[in-house]
């Protein structure tokens, strides 16, 4: 295999055209095999194999810099930069990240994981290059989907002011452009990017301006004619009008064409956008046919394309069913997603209520403010969003929703530890940033049934409210405990003595396991389901403090600003005689890995918590 002899960019430059095609095929097969074993991002990576090879041949890496937007398409980049052997630990605990990571390799010049950041980051790197008097090429690779994010346009707006080379590669796997437009565009690209043509423009303009009386008029007419011609035949005039030279569209699966166009783009003394057409999922039939389904995959059978296991109904699926049920009787309910109808569970809603479904693209800020507008005019907007992506709309939550006390419902999926996607995707900060906002209430269900109950409650609540639930199979234990939801009230599950476990959301099942282990040791622990993270049920805290010596809080969030620290503050002020133990995630970013291993490593699994309680002399589990 050619791939076995590729250890860095220099190895690519000795290959002929036939060998390059063979290498691309081998890389696709390698990616399919590794993602089928470990899971990961499949379709997006298959689509950029040839593009990445072309970039590597045209650039001098790692001296030159590539910023990958989102970064889920960087597997070929990792392979070509000498990390092929690390794929056996792809997205595994202490293994290789699925995203670019500065601490992992000098080829990863900027860490990514969220969308629409690459142009701004690349622009900053290029500005630093110019200020320091250095000389290298900076390339930002951004997908057409990421261009739905406003940050990308903020970057473009400023890139247009660049006076030195900066390349933006638009990886377009959704548009189709007719052949004749592509052919004319390709011809004009060669003219506009050639040094001779750019020099000719300057020379001709200079000569004509010296002609008495008519010179200025002729130059102006030529410029107008050229602009009209461009408007007619070039689909990139949006960029051209901003002052960014447009090259393309080109075939992103033609390695030599990519290499040639990038080399042309390097000659331009300002920002240039290279429009590249690719096919998401290329080289694997199931992914070509269903690219969204194979965007992010769990381990699967290569021949059938089917997942190797399905453990049960997820929280996302329970949410999906419940919002459709509620929307049938409540015509004011609308569903909003930021480009993730499948991931958040709104696809079913979009089919059943197409006029009440809004996919705003990768634009969380717009999603929140648009929802605020809807709520101000009598609708009941439900924003389904991943915890880590809700961070992007913090100002809109504060300013547009909560300040105006608008009844927007935030259904926050992937809250807590999400596993293999790592630091950029762990949903471990939402308690902290939401509970600090006036007028915002935060709930966390202990199981699937309670998620539905909380959604029913939220639809009848007239202020901003959030429901936070984890990724994966929904816990369905403790279903016999289903007391009606009362605002700001927790739920007593088991009344014991001396020691109380006060657990939030996903940690209730963990607390139940600890209680069962304690019973075997002769300790009857109280177990309380917090339900509300904000407001904290102080009446329950007063009750527990009246006849318990220790209260142990459990949550899947960082400590600062979390649930436990609120409980601790109240108890210290009002019941200083009661001992508080807070079980939280550390105030840090959490790496990628299997959730079970992460919980063990971070000390929030039941065995670790029991050891902690033993070490503190609270219960002897040994």
Contact by Cβ (8 Å): 24, 53: yes
Q: Where are the alpha helices (DSSP H) in 211-312?
A: 215-233, 237-242, 255-265, 285-289
Q: Are 555 and 564 in contact (CB under 8 A)?
A: yes
With CA atoms as reference, report the closest residue to 313 among 357, 350, 340, 345.
345
414 is catalytic: no
Question: Distance between the two ends of the chain, CA-based, in angstroms?
Answer: 55
What are the tokens at 559? 């400590």
Question: Beta partners for 296?
Answer: 41
DSSP code per residue over 278-305: --TTTT-HHHHH-TTTTSEE-SB-TTT-
Catalytic annotation, pick one of 192, 348, 392, 468: 392
Closest CA to 478 of 519, 448, 516, 521: 448
Residue where the block lists tokens 């699966």? 253
Structure tokens at 377: 């005019």
Task: For residues 39 and 28, give the distance between their C-alpha atoms in angstroms, rounded to a whole number.
Answer: 15
CA distances 93 to 283, 330, 420, 439, 594, Å, are: 29, 44, 8, 39, 6
Q: Which residue in the list 280, 282, 471, 559 is annotated as catalytic?
A: 280
Residue written as token pair 């075997």? 520
Q: How many whole angstroms separate alpha carbon 456 and alpha carbon 47? A: 42
Q: Report the C-alpha gap between 608 and 595 in whole angstroms.
A: 14
Residues near 353 by beta carbon (within 8 Å), at least 6 away in sequence? 324, 327, 335
Active-site residue, 364 included:
yes
Encoding tokens for residue 408? 């927007």
| Catalytic choice (259, 264, 364, 555) | 364
- Residue 40 main-chain phi, psi, to 5 deg: 140, -165
The shares of helix, strand and coil residues in the chain, as percent rounded to the nearest 5, are 45, 15, 35
Does residue 280 carry a catalytic annotation?
Answer: yes
Sheet of strand 65-68, all strands in order from the earlier edge strand to the far edge: 65-68, 138-143, 166-172, 271-277, 245-251
CB 15 within 8 A of CB 2: yes
List, by residue number, the catalytic residues: 280, 364, 392
């Amino acid at each position: 295999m050619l791939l076995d002899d590729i250890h860095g960019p220099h190895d690519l430059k000795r290959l002929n055209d036939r060998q390059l095609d063979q290498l691309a095929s081998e890389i696709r097969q390698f990616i399919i095999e590794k993602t089928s074993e470990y899971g990961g991002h499949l379709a997006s990576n298959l689509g950029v194999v040839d593009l990445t090879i072309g970039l590597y041949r045209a650039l001098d890496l790692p001296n030159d810099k590539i910023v990958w937007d989102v970064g889920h398409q960087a597997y070929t980049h990792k392979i070509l930069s000498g990390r092929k052997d690390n794929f056996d630990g792809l997205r595994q605990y202490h293994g290789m990240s699925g995203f670019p990571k500065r601490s992992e390799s000098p080829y990863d010049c900027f860490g990514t994981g969220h969308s629409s950041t690459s142009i701004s980051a690349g622009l900053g790197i290029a500005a630093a290059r110019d200020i320091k008097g250095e000389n290298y090429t900076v390339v930002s690779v951004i997908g057409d989907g990421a261009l739905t994010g406003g940050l990308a346009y903020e970057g473009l707006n400023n890139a247009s002011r660049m006076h030195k080379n900066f390349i933006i590669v638009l990886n377009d796997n959704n548009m189709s452009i007719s052949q004749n437009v592509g052919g004319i565009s390709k011809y004009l690209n060669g003219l506009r990017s050639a040094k001779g043509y750019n020099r000719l423009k300057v020379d001709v303009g200079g000569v004509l301006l010296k002609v008495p009386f008519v010179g200025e008029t002729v130059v102006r007419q030529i410029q107008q004619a050229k602009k009209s011609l461009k408007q007619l035949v070039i689909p990139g005039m949006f960029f051209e009008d901003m002052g960014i030279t447009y090259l393309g569209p080109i075939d992103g699966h033609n390695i030599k064409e990519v290499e040639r166009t990038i080399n042309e783009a390097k000659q331009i003394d300002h920002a240039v956008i290279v429009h590249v057409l690719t096919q998401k999922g290329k080289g694997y039939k199931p992914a070509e046919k269903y690219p969204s389904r194979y965007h992010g995959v769990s381990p699967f059978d290569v021949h059938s394309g089917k997942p190797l296991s399905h453990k049960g109904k997820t929280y996302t699926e329970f949410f999906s069913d419940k919002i459709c049920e509620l929307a049938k009787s409540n015509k004011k309910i609308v569903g909003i997603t930021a480009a993730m109808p499948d991931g958040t569970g709104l696809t079913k809603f979009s089919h059943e209520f197409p006029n009440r479904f809004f996919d705003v693209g990768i634009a969380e800020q717009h999603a929140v403010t648009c929802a605020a507008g809807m709520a101000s005019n009598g609708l009941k907007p439900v924003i389904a969003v991943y915890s880590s992506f809700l961070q992007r709309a913090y100002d809109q939550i504060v300013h547009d929703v909560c300040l105006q006390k608008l009844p927007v419902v935030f259904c926050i999926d992937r809250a807590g530890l999400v596993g293999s996607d790592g630091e950029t995707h762990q949903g471990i900060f939402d308690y902290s940033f939401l509970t600090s906002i006036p007028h915002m209430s935060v709930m966390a269900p202990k199981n699937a049934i309670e998620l539905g109950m909380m959604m029913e409650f939220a639809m009848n609540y007239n202020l901003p409210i959030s429901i936070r639930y984890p990724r994966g199979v929904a816990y369905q234990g403790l279903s016999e405990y289903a007391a009606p939801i009362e605002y700001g009230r927790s739920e007593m599950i088991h009344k014991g003595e001396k020691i109380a476990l006060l657990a939030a959301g996903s940690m209730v099942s963990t607390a139940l396991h600890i209680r069962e282990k304690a019973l075997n040791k002769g300790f009857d622990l109280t177990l309380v389901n917090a339900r509300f993270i904000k407001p904290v049920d102080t009446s329950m805290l007063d009750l527990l403090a009246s006849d318990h010596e220790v209260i142990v809080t459990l949550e899947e969030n960082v400590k600062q600003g979390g649930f436990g620290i609120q409980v601790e503050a109240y108890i210290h002020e009002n019941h200083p005689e009661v001992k508080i133990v807070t079980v939280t995630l550390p105030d840090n970013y959490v790496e990628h890995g299997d959730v079970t291993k992460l919980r063990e490593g971070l000390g929030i699994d039941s065995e670790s918590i029991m050891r902690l309680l033993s070490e503190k002399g609270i219960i002897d589990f040994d």
